Chain A
Amino acid sequence: MPATKHDMAKYVYGVVSTAASPPKGPGIDDAPIGVIPHGDVAALASDVAGDFLEAGREELLRHSRVLEETMAQAVVLPMRFGVVMPDEETVHQRLLDPYSEKLKAQLEEMDGKVEITIKGIYDEAAVLREVIAEDRAIAKLREAIHGKPEEATYYQRIELGELIAAALEEKRAAAAPQVIDRLAPLAVDVRVGEPVHERMAVNASFLVERARLKEFDRVVDQIGAEQAGRIQLKYTGPLPPHSFVELGIGG
């Protein structure tokens, strides 16, 4: 059912300076991206149906691409995915007006900086070999179970797995600083995230000046080479500074 003009709402992608022009690429539901200016700052937004409540892969990609395209030509403060305001008036009242000073300050602060995320994933076989070699209890339990039927060793297997998980946790705690401490001096700011995967050794976001990006990349490559065969590093970016923006109150 096509929504009438009255039913439209505003999907907000991010905040830019009033001087920035909106990206050309279409937004969610192929709607053109417009700016909602307010003093020195402006919201990047497009029209969505008033009953726009559910989204999938396409919408996530659009959100991400709009920000990426904007970022190529201007500083952008990204919104989290899924912010829909009923109308332009609300965008002024609830976002641009109350936070205008904060937004302006952050736009200045983020000028020339990008976010890079670094994830490190343990090579399973390599890290399990380390764990067996370093932990007597694990090695012994593994030998005790080895070759026996699964049904007979169910609880021992859980115990073994739990010991391994704990050992991995210790390794993680040691490995993360090894990577992060080397990169942090090259970054303006760092956010360390929780592992979102059982073999994730490192999950961190770095705010890096574009001017220092080459240097940063070189150290990432060095660490990657040192950890080869043990931890696979995954580098994502440059991205808009998702992890480094905030409104202060209420999120």
Chain B
Amino acid sequence: MATAMQQQPYRGGSGYVARSSSSGLYDVLELILDKGLVIDVFVRVSLIGIEILTIDARIVIASVDTYLRFAEAVNRLDLMSTETQGLPELMEGITEGGASSKTKGMLQGAKEALFGDEDEEDEKEPATTKRRTSSTSAKRRRASSSSGSSERRSKSG
């Protein structure tokens, strides 16, 4: 357990809470898109490549892709050397398990929506490219859920 803890990417005052101010865009995305004063008729700006992330994450919770991914994750549990892997490695291990490559993009989309900062820290990927790519793939996935391998996003990092 102690080992897993040391690998957590962010530490707050007590060492256990990840903190950020509003300068981390993905921490405030939900708020600035969904909350605040609004006069509906004047909200006319549409977002390119970004808006789908939070919406897509909601849909993902109750989907066959998620179910298959959970099944794969519990299936693999005992195969891991219990506590020696940190979360990022763990997630990589699961996504690359090959149960269903389709789940890969989904997981990473959701992961990026939530863990974007940590990923940037870990992988040093240019954030803009990554966001757009992941949300584009989310859009595609939604547009044609029975799509094949050409729809998938391959991850370089």
Apart from A83-B37, A237-B21, list 7 A-B contacts with CB within 8 A: A60-B25, A68-B23, A115-B31, A131-B74, A158-B67, A160-B71, A196-B57
Give the contact-size bracket for chain A. Answer: 35 or more
User: Which chain A residues border B49 with CB–CB below 8 Å?
Assistant: 56-57
- CA A134 to CA B97, docked complex, whole Å: 25
Partner of B45, one of A54, A68, A247: A54
User: Which chain B residues border A85 with CB–CB below 8 Å?
Assistant: 42
B36 x A229 contact (CB < 8 A): no
A64 x B44 contact (CB < 8 A): no
- Nearest-CB residue, chain A, relative to B115: A121
- CA A158 to CA B100, docked complex, whole Å: 12
Interface string of A186-199 (1 = CB under 8 A from B): 00000001111110
Given known pairs A53-B44, A80-B38, A222-B14, the reply for A242 and B31 (CB within 8 Å) is yes
- CA A238 to CA B27, docked complex, whole Å: 12
B67 x A165 contact (CB < 8 A): yes
Given known pairs A221-B13, A237-B21, A238-B21, the reply for A162 and B67 (CB within 8 Å) is yes
Could you list 22 A-B pairs, sorted by A, with CB under 8 Å?
A53-B45, A56-B48, A63-B32, A68-B21, A77-B37, A82-B44, A82-B45, A84-B44, A90-B42, A95-B39, A124-B91, A128-B77, A129-B77, A160-B67, A161-B68, A222-B14, A232-B18, A233-B18, A236-B28, A246-B37, A250-B39, A251-B37
User: Which chain B residues border A243 with CB–CB below 8 Å?
Assistant: 31, 35
- CA A123 to CA B73, docked complex, whole Å: 12
Give the contact-size bracket for chain B. Answer: 35 or more
6 tightest A-B contacts by CB?
Answer: A161-B67, A221-B14, A224-B16, A82-B45, A224-B17, A157-B71
- Nearest-CB residue, chain B, relative to A161: B67
B35 x A225 contact (CB < 8 A): no
Interface string of B64-89 (1 = CB under 8 A from A): 10111111111101001000010100
User: Which chain B residues border A160 with CB–CB below 8 Å?
Assistant: 67, 70-71, 74
- CA A15 to CA B35, docked complex, whole Å: 14
Given known pairs A84-B44, A236-B28, the reply for A225 and B16 (CB within 8 Å) is yes
Interface centre among B14, B33, B62, B91, by most chain A C-beta atoms within 10 angstroms, is B14
User: Which chain A residues border B114 with CB–CB below 8 Å?
Assistant: 119, 121, 196-197, 200
User: Which chain A residues border B34 with CB–CB below 8 Å?
Assistant: 80
B interface residues (Cβ-Cβ under 8 A, vs A): 1, 4-5, 8, 12-25, 27-50, 54, 57-58, 60-62, 64, 66-75, 77, 80, 85, 87, 90-91, 94, 99, 110, 113-115, 127-128, 131-132
What is the minimal beta-carbon distance from A151 to any residue of chain B, in angstroms?
A: 11
What is the minimal beta-carbon distance from A31 to any residue of chain B, in angstroms?
A: 15
Partner of A161, one of B13, B69, B87, B115: B69
- Nearest-CB residue, chain A, relative to B58: A196
Interface string of A227-247 (1 = CB under 8 A from B): 111001111111100110111
A236 x B27 contact (CB < 8 A): yes
B37 x A245 contact (CB < 8 A): yes
Using a CB-CB cutoff of 8 Å, which residues 80-102 of chain A contact chain B? 80-85, 90, 94-95
Given known pairs A80-B35, A224-B14, the reply for A125 and B77 (CB within 8 Å) is yes
User: Which chain B residues border A65 with CB–CB below 8 Å?
Assistant: 22-23
- CA A84 to CA B28, docked complex, whole Å: 20
